[in-house]
Structure 1
Amino acid sequence: MVFEYANRLVNEGCEVYILFLNNEAFQRFHLPLFMKRILCNIFTRIEPNWFNLDRRVQKISNLDYGYKSKLGPLNALFATSAEKTVDEVFYNLQAEKKYYFIQDYENWHVSKEFVDKTYRLGLNNIVISKWLKKKIDKISGKPSILIPNAIDTDIYKKNRIMINRQPHTIALLYHQEKHKGLANAFEVLKKVKMKFPDLEVKMFGQFPRPNVPKWIKYYKNATQAETVSIYNSCQVFLCSTIEEGFGLTGFEAMSCGACLVSTNYKGVREYAVDNYNALLSPVGDIQAQVDNVIRIFEDPSLRDKISHNGEKSSKDYSWSEAMKKFNKMLGVQ
């Protein structure tokens, strides 16, 4: 989402910088600082290799000499994570306005007290979902700005109708964080595979291939075009998340016509309605997810209804609407 906003802002004529905090890069190699600085500058220039970031977006490493002066005077500055960027934005950099782009309640590696403190620093908090707004507003004591995640339906669109997809196909996102629920997702896949031996599974992510059965195809660092192709090749997108701010990949899959079979975590409720545009089940209930996958595979009318309504729902979250809210927040409209 940060890269998407960067692209759209430069298209509107803004000068945009992304600062990469590289202090922890290459730690396991115990490199001298000058070598680490050289490598980080190189990788900052070439990354991200999985996203088509506009060349006009300027990328800077914080290990680069004089990185603050290269940023120059800033009108707006955004922190994007509790652990990594809030301190840099709040204490070390200067700007007319400072914002905090909050996409989840990020207490995965730090304490609740640490995270809550970041929300109370006085930055202009931006949230992507209604449940986050309620939570963050209560913690911070002031209203946050709600800008729901958007979908580019010119990219994330259905280009293969359901009857032209293999009958027993599932896609999912792989992530190493426990709150993403992959341990449960793998149990779901094993049970579904027992009932449907011809099951095909396509999984993508930014991490090395996990220790999973060979019948699960894995796409490391899949590009945007590759993920769209994956979404369009499958009947079901499986999400076993325990907790998440929004759940963007599930929404992207819906926009491409895949049937979302998800746990009923808070974030997914922003766009998914059980038995209308998705099949939802209690968080952690593996058998309930298995049953919902089977329902999609065995009931073509239900499958087509969920697929159609999911695709239709994605059109309610346009980038034009998101940018209107974003620009209003910045005071440029």
Structure 2
Amino acid sequence: MKINIVIPGVGLSGGIRVLFQYAELLEKKGHDVIFYTPVLAYDVKNSNSELVNKIHVFTNSIKRINSYIIKKNQNKTGFAVNVEAVPCIKNKYLRDADLVIASAWPTAFSVNDLHKTKGKKIYFIQDYEIWNNKRLGQLSYTLPLKHIVISTWIKNKLIEQLGHEDAPIVYDGLDIEIFNNLKTNCYKYSENRKFKILMLYHNLAKKGIVEGLEAYKRLKKQYSNVELSMFGLDRKPDLPEGVIYYSNPTREELKRLYQSADVFLYTSREEGWGLTPLEAMAAGCVVVGTDTGCMLDLGKNEENVLLVEPKDVEGLVNNVIRIMKDEELAKYLAKNANETVKQLSWDKAVLKFETILKDICNEN
């Protein structure tokens, strides 16, 4: 199959990384995949001010000219993928193909406007993206594109909005070979060592960082040896004193963080999937979190994770304390979690993804 994939940019967010991984694996299976990204940045309507939005588009476009044009011969994605920077997403800039896939709500509108010769139109939905502009985000899901989603949570959100949804679900794969590690050391709490908590940092409110930091604050009042480390794509976020921050860690650095932590705190209020808690589970780190995203599909409270409802700070605190005080519970959860995520191989994921793409391609 010839597959075109439209992405808003090449920043290695979780969603873009997933698409690059699929493209690599599909290429190995003999398919021809090209990514298209516009040099003219999308207007995501973040502001009520059109002037502010236009300035945002202008400054982002200038950055892209430098990144995509001046450095066009440098592939800095870390993946063996073909990314074409084009002025904008229009018919004349995209090749004819069997399928064309939208990857984020602004790209859905672009793909919808393309001629049918660019491929049968698919919307690969990795989150319910209404944080930039709720009206346009929701409108994107009503476009006549075939949906593929990555979680039950997303499918349920679309059912709530549309009244029905027959989209197939394909779980993201996980780099098991990188993160897999069931700790041989004990999980026993001791006042003589640091009790290490790890958490993702993100500036989106839906990630629940406020609740996570409040939980840490309450724990720190009771247990002085509790230590919080965070990681994210931001260079230097404003965090409370004493919080250790790692900016854009490598995969090996991230593996080390997971494996050295006692608890991974997953605080999302809502989530399309949630890669980081699954990586933590693979690395033998006990996950204490909220019942959303991937946890609706793979998390089993009291069996492989400890879960509370989103925004339940006290519940998060109590569950962390349970892990601190119950070594056997910690070992039990970590072992089961490690076994759970082993089903998330990329080979299984790409096989299901490929099957769905072929079915769509062969439809009359």
Asked whether the two chains share a fold, i.e. TM above 0.5, the reply is yes
Alignment of 1:263 onto 2:280? no
* CA offsets 1:82-123 (integer angstroms, 9 cap, x no match): 1x3112211146522221111111111212x43332222111
C-alpha distance in 2 between matches for 1:81 and 1:35: 20
C-alpha distance in 1 between matches for 2:133 and 2:55: 20
Q: After the TM superposition, which residues 157-196 of structure 1 pair with which residues of structure 2 at under 5 Å, given as runs?
A: 157-158=180-181, 160-163=183-186, 168-196=195-223
Give the aligned partner of residue 336 of structure 2.
309
Alignment of 1:224 onto 2:248? no
Give the aligned partner of residue 135 of structure 1.
157
C-alpha distance in 2 between matches for 1:60 and 1:140: 37
Between 1:194-203 and 1:248-257, the stretch displaced more is 194-203
| Compared CA separation, residues 285 and 134, structure 1 to 2 (3 A) | closer
**Residue 247 of structure 1 contacts residue 267 of structure 1 at CA under 8 Å; is this kept in 2?**
yes
What is the aligned counterpart of 2:306 among 260, 279, 300?
A: 279
C-alpha distance in 1 between matches for 2:347 and 2:59: 45
Indicate the SS of the match to 1:301: helix
Query: How far off its partner does 1:289 sit?
Result: 0.5
Give the aligned partner of residue 15 of structure 2.
none
C-alpha distance in 2 between matches for 1:183 and 1:15: 43
Give the aligned partner of residue 28 of structure 2.
11
**Residue 112 of structure 2 contacts residue 144 of structure 2 at CA under 8 Å; is this kept in 1?**
no
Please list every run of 5 or more consecutive structure 1 residues that lacks an aligned counterpart in the other structure: none
C-alpha distance in 1 between matches for 2:293 and 2:60: 45
**Residue 181 of structure 1 contacts residue 240 of structure 1 at CA under 8 Å; is this kept in 2?**
yes
Task: Note the aligned Cα RMSD (angstroms).
Answer: 3.0
C-alpha distance in 2 between matches for 1:288 and 1:278: 13
Between 1:178-187 and 1:262-271, the stretch displaced more is 262-271
Query: How far off its partner does 1:134 sit?
Result: 3.4
**Residue 207 of structure 1 contacts residue 220 of structure 1 at CA under 8 Å; is this kept in 2?**
yes
C-alpha distance in 2 between matches for 1:300 and 1:313: 20
Indicate the SS of the match to 2:336: helix
**Residue 242 of structure 1 contacts residue 283 of structure 1 at CA under 8 Å; is this kept in 2?**
yes
Give the aligned partner of residue 120 of structure 2.
97
Between 1:306-315 and 1:151-160, the stretch displaced more is 151-160
Alignment of 1:58 onto 2:98? no
Give the aligned partner of residue 40 of structure 2.
23
Give the aligned partner of residue 131 of structure 2.
108
What is the aligned counterpart of 1:252 among 275, 279, 282?
A: 279
Indicate the SS of the match to 1:125: strand
Give the aligned partner of residue 87 of structure 1.
109
Indicate the SS of the match to 1:200: strand
Q: Give the TM-score of the pair, scaled to structure 1.
A: 0.87
Letter in structure 1 aligned against 2:273: F
Alignment of 1:117 onto 2:139? yes
Give percent identity, aligned residues only.
28
Give the aligned partner of residue 69 of structure 2.
41
Alignment of 1:233 onto 2:250? no
Alignment of 1:325 onto 2:352? yes
**Residue 280 of structure 2 contacts residue 286 of structure 2 at CA under 8 Å; is this kept in 1?**
yes
Query: How far off its partner does 1:325 sit?
Result: 1.2
C-alpha distance in 1 between matches for 2:61 and 2:153: 42
Give the aligned partner of residue 177 of structure 2.
154
Indicate the SS of the match to 2:186: helix
**Residue 17 of structure 1 contacts residue 71 of structure 1 at CA under 8 Å; is this kept in 2?**
no
Query: How far off its partner does 1:24 sit?
Result: 3.6
C-alpha distance in 2 between matches for 1:33 and 1:283: 37
Letter in structure 1 aligned against 2:236: R
C-alpha distance in 2 between matches for 1:45 and 1:140: 46
Query: How far off its partner does 1:5 sit?
Result: 1.1
**Residue 102 of structure 2 contacts residue 122 of structure 2 at CA under 8 Å; is this kept in 1?**
yes
C-alpha distance in 2 between matches for 1:257 and 1:196: 23
Letter in structure 2 aligned against 1:257: G
C-alpha distance in 2 between matches for 1:286 and 1:320: 37
Between 1:114-123 and 1:271-280, the stretch displaced more is 114-123
Q: Give the TM-score of the pair, scaled to structure 2.
A: 0.80
Indicate the SS of the match to 1:296: helix
